[in-house]
Structure 1
Amino acid sequence: MERFTISLDDLLAQRFDALIQARGYANRSEAVRDMLRRELEAERQVSGQSLHCVASLSYVYNHHERRLAERLTEMQHHAHDLVLSAMHVHLDHEHCLEVLFLRGSTQAVRGFADRLAAECGVRHSALNLITVDTGPADPTHRHSHPHD
């Protein structure tokens, strides 16, 4: 493990300590490591180095919008290779919330999320994307448990 020293002005250090306490970190090092991971991952995603991901796509839509629910379901069926699961919640008389769990190439997941969000009647959407490192299977990789 590599160590480094950082200098902070008093106000910034106080605000940082309050943040890490509010988030439940044991110490400054844990908080800094998480922040660095988050920033490095964001940079990987922006630069296109993030090839595969898992994601949740949440969106609110008006279910009275003509054929919208049908179109959204059809889009999910066409993206069956990306959509792992869906959850549907009735918010009120007019609005529904759906959360889709997705897995696949980052480019394909972002493209699907953008197309779905652009559907007329989808009011709000948010994509939470997490990069995962996947690659070709290693035939020498052995486990005592089966892979699904």
Structure 2
Amino acid sequence: MSVVSISMPEALLERIDAFADEHGYSGRSEVVREGTRTLLEEFQGQDIDGQKHACTVTVVFEYCQPAVQQRLTGVRHEYDAIVSATTHAHVQDQYCMELYVLEGTTEALSEFVNTVRAVQDVRAVDYSITSLDRDPIEKTTKS
């Protein structure tokens, strides 16, 4: 097995250590491996013949971070083909929250989420995917 060196804030490292202890992991490496597997597999198995999905993406960042807001606006324009709506809100006088409503294939949704996750100084990214039936007639009905 290869050894990889990564940098992370001390507070995050402390949370990983506490999580490992609380949940019976052998150590940090096991937690990071499992988290990485989960991240890499999160969109697999959801793409059925290019079926479209609706998706909401919530992004949180600290208030007074215009550079983050500007980068997120750039992402929104880059993915204009799948972004149906956006809204901006202030939360707890400390954070800004962007909510995106998307419609597209899992590949396109995954690209959007991963691009937003890569924006520096974003504190949290959460999403929810809802499958859209391509043809409601294909549903089984009682006669």
Residues 49-64 of structure 1 mapped to structure 2, 5 A cutoff: 49-50=47-48, 51=50, 52-64=52-64
Matched-pair identity in %: 21
Equivalent position amino acid for 2:76 in 1: Q
State how 1:17-96 maps to structure 2 within 5 Å: 46-50=44-48, 51=50, 52-65=52-65, 67-96=67-96
Cα distance, 1:133 vs. partner?
Answer: 3.2
Give, in whole Å, the separation in 1 of the partners of 2:113 and 2:80: 13
Residue 122 (structure 1) aligned with residue 122 (structure 2): yes
**Cα-to-partner distance string for 1:67-119 (whole Å, 9 max, x where unaligned):** 11011011101111111001111013431111110001111111101110221
Q: CA deviation at 1:134?
A: 3.2
How does the TM-score come out when normalised to structure 1? 0.55
Query: Is the Cα–Cα contact under 8 Å of residues 75 and 116 in structure 1 kept in the other structure?
Result: yes
Q: Is the 8 A contact 2:47 2:105 kept in 1?
A: no
The 3-state SS of whatever aligns with 1:46 is coil
The RMSD of aligned alpha carbons is 1.9
Q: Residues of 2 paired with 1:119 and 1:69: CA distance?
A: 10
Provide structure 2 residue ranges, at least 5 long, that are not aligned to the other structure: 1-42, 136-143
- The code of the aligned residue for 1:104 comes to G
Which structure's CA Rg is the greater one?
1
Unmatched tracts of structure 1, length 5 or more: 1-44, 136-148
Who is 1:32 aligned against?
Answer: none
Amino acid at match of 2:106: T
For each residue in 1:33-58, what CA deviation from the matched residue of structure 2 results, as whole angstroms up to 9, or x when unmatched?
xxxxxxxxxxxx63254332110001
Q: CA deviation at 1:66?
A: 5.3
The one-letter code sitting in structure 2 at the alignment partner of 1:47 is G
One-letter amino acid of the counterpart of residue 88, structure 1: H
Could you state the TM-score of these two structures normalised by the residue count of structure 2?
Answer: 0.57
Report 1:98-117 matches (<5 A): 98-117=98-117
- Number of residue pairs aligned between Structure 1 and Structure 2: 91
